[in-house]
């Protein structure tokens, strides 16, 4: 079994100013998005320029942060809004929804495309391979924050948590227990699948000309499948629990439309000619 390293969520404290690892991971994700986007824009046939990628990043940051936070609070934490509307602003505490961020990005990409005279799927096909490494960084942030743990496991890679920091994971254990049962590090599973594996698949797939909508469709299908699989071992938010059958989670429910949309886009894409 592995032992949780108990990393301080605060990376740097300068008096009252605290810089959290979770926020730094978002900065890393945006930086990787920008660097990969500029690299792709240098291709002669890309149709993109470095200034366009700079502009794209600005729209993307707004979509991710606003959509991700609103999505989380609406899907998973509506009771927190009712208790204190200012909870919407406490991004540094974690609580960002990928599905909400996706909706936010789709809205801002629509605005970006109209401004630049680009079709919606021209934009989304370009950005799809740039996103997964940002997701990887975000899941590492979840791990450092000590959130989104999986179920108990006897696997050799299960992670034991120090009970003083994680009382929720130790509440059913005898009083005075120092360590929790070993848990699936579901954040790291998602980092590997939604992050690294999905990035490699999309990056390699998009290196050759593909029909419009195909790269976007593969992203939606891949993310939806990977997220749905990990949700089988991930413990749902305690205030929501399982939605049905003692295994269906909110994450799976929100991922199902992505899977269906991905299949639909891929089917439609390959009825069209390949883009140059």
* Tens digits of residue pLDDT in 17-60: 888 898 899 999 999 999 999 999 999 888 999 999 999 999 99
Paired strand residues for 14: 17
State the pLDDT at residue 38.
97
State the pLDDT at residue 274.
56
State the pLDDT at residue 240.
79
| Segments making up each domain of the chain, as ranges | 2-192
State the pLDDT at residue 276.
42
What size, in residues, is the chain?
Answer: 276
Paired strand residues for 150: 234
Contact criterion met (CB below 8 Å) for 146 and 187: no
- Residue ranges for the chain with pLDDT beneath 50: 276
State the pLDDT at residue 219.
98
In this predicted model, what pLDDT tens digit does every residue of 207-239 receive, in sequence order?
999 999 999 999 999 999 999 999 999 998 777
Strands 10-14, 17-20: pairing kind: antiparallel
Residue 131 DSSP class: S
- Does the global pTM surpass 0.75? yes
């Amino acid at each position: 079994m592995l032992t949780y390293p108990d990393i301080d969520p605060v990376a740097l404290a300068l008096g009252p100013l605290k810089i959290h690892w979770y926020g730094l991971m978002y900065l890393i994700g945006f930086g990787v998005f920008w660097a990969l986007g500029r690299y792709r824009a240098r291709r002669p046939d890309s149709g993109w320029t470095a200034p366009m990628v700079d502009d794209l990043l600005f729209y993307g940051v707004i979509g991710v942060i606003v959509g991700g936070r609103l999505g989380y609070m609406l899907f998973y934490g509506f009771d927190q809004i009712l208790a204190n509307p200012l909870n919407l602003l406490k991004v540094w505490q974690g609580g960002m929804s990928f599905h909400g961020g996706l909706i936010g990005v789709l809205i801002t990409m629509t605005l970006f495309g109209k401004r630049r005279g680009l079709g919606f799927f021209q934009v989304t096909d370009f950005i799809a391979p740039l996103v997964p490494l940002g997701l990887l960084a975000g899941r590492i942030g979840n791990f450092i924050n000590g959130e989104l743990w999986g179920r108990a496991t006897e696997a050799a890679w299960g992670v034991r948590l120090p009970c003083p920091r994680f009382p929720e994971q130790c509440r059913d254990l005898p009083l005075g227990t120092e360590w929790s049962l070993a848990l699936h590090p579901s954040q790291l599973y998602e980092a590997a699948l939604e992050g690294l594996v999905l990035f490699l698949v999309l990056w390699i797939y998009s290196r050759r000309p593909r029909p419009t909508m195909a790269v976007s469709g593969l992203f939606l299908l891949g993310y939806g499948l990977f997220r749905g699989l990990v949700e089988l071992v991930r413990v749902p938010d305690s205030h929501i629990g399982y939605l049905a059958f003692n295994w269906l989670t909110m994450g799976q429910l929100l991922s199902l439309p992505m899977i269906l949309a991905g299949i639909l886009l891929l089917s439609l894409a390959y009825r069209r000619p390949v883009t140059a």
